[in-house]
Amino acid sequence: MDPQTQLELSKLNDADKKELNQILANEAQKSNIQQMVHQLNDVCWKKCVTGRITSKTLDRNEEACAANCVDRWMDTQMGILKHLENMRGH
């Protein structure tokens, strides 16, 4: 790390510490979401873009497939959670 970017965290006052904690929590959530999008896009690309690639843009079918893929993936996740909850009840 170059000396100018070294951070003197001991200089933070309580208000700034608190604010920084909030910003950190938000950034962490954003980062989790981005990772999820990478994973989802990988899955959905494999399902939706199966033909030879001839264009820089998604065609109508691929576009619809991409959005459906994400929504059905979420449905699957919700379904699994619901089913697990039912199993626990028995």
In the complex, the residues that contact other proteins under the rule CB under 8 A are 1, 3, 5-13, 16, 19-20, 23-24, 26-27, 29-31, 33-38, 40-42, 44-46, 48-49, 52-58, 62-63, 66-67, 69-71, 74, 78
Would you call 52 helix, strand, or coil by DSSP?
A: coil
Quote the least distance from Cβ 41 to other proteins, whole Å.
4
Taking the complex as a whole, the smallest distance from the CB of residue 86 to other proteins amounts, in Å, to 17
